[in-house]
Amino acid sequence: MYRLYDYLPSGNGYKVRLLLSQLGLPFERVEVDITKGETRTPTSLARNPNGRIPVLDLGDGTCLAESNAILHYLAEGTAFLPQERLMRAQVLQWMFFEQYSHEPYIAVVRFWHMHGGLSEDRRRQLPDKERQGHAALAVMDRHLADNTFFVGGRYTIADIALYAYTHVAHEGGFDLSRYLAVMGWLDRVRAQPGHIAITQG
């Protein structure tokens, strides 16, 4: 059985929980509180030297880190990852976008609001983080204006990767009502079989 080292409020951990649920795969979830430094213990660092969650133990002691790599591993051979070469690359394209152009802004601002508030340094950084977060949402909105899902008109791990932090972006102060196509897509993702809430372990 898979064992998932996770922090419940984490969008990155949620991605993996959501896909595991939608695949109907049993797993044991182990809570690791990132706010208490629990990812920095020797035991945690042995699982992931980068000291982050999520980490998926594959059942034989082999550990896989990085949420989108875990999604790719779990989705292999399923409907969540297309077999066609170009579509697979397009899935990866949107997953790379999520990690480089989306998560560093939307997820980070959410974390600041949820944990410890805004220090003076964070307040200085906030306008740029918000600007770039809105830029990412605008890219998504333009694409979704003409597409039901991100790749090939079907629900894939690209949608899961982007859904995780987008659907809670309001917790970081992002007004999603400005992005009608994104709002419609969020509803379509919520309607997928096996969907669970981010608060569900």
pLDDT in tens, 139-162: 999 999 999 999 999 999 999 999
- Statement: residue 19 has pLDDT above 90: yes
pLDDT number for residue 71 = 98
The whole-number average pLDDT for the span 8-30 is 97
* Burial degree of 104 (CB within 10 A; 0-12, 13-18, 19+): middle
**Which residue type sits at 24?**
G
Q: Positive or negative CA dihedral for 97, 19, 10, 169? A: positive
Instruction: With beta carbons less than 8 A apart as the criterion, state whether 155 and 22 touch.
Output: no
> What does the DSSP 8-state code read for residue 31?
E
Question: What is the CATH number that goes with domain 2-75?
Answer: 3.40.30.10
pLDDT number for residue 115 = 80
What are the residue ranges of CATH 3.40.30.10 in the chain?
A: 2-75
Question: Which pLDDT band holds residue 201 (cuts at 50, 70, 90)?
Answer: confident
pLDDT number for residue 85 = 97
> What does the DSSP 8-state code read for residue 151?
B
pLDDT number for residue 150 = 98
Question: Which pLDDT band holds residue 171 (cuts at 50, 70, 90)?
Answer: very high
pLDDT number for residue 122 = 87
Residues paired with 6 in a beta bridge: 31
Count, in order, helices (H) and strands (E) of the chain. 8, 4
* Burial degree of 129 (CB within 10 A; 0-12, 13-18, 19+): middle
Secondary element (H or E) of residue 2: strand 2-6
pLDDT number for residue 6 = 97
Model pLDDT for residues 92-137, shown as the tens digit of each residue: 999 999 999 999 999 999 999 888 777 888 899 999 999 999 999 9
Question: What is the CATH number that goes with domain 85-190?
Answer: 1.20.1050.10
> What does the DSSP 8-state code read for residue 102?
I
Q: What is the dihedral of CA 71, 76, 81, 82, to 10 degrees?
A: 160
Q: Does pTM top 0.85 for this prediction?
A: yes
What are the residue ranges of CATH 1.20.1050.10 in the chain?
A: 85-190
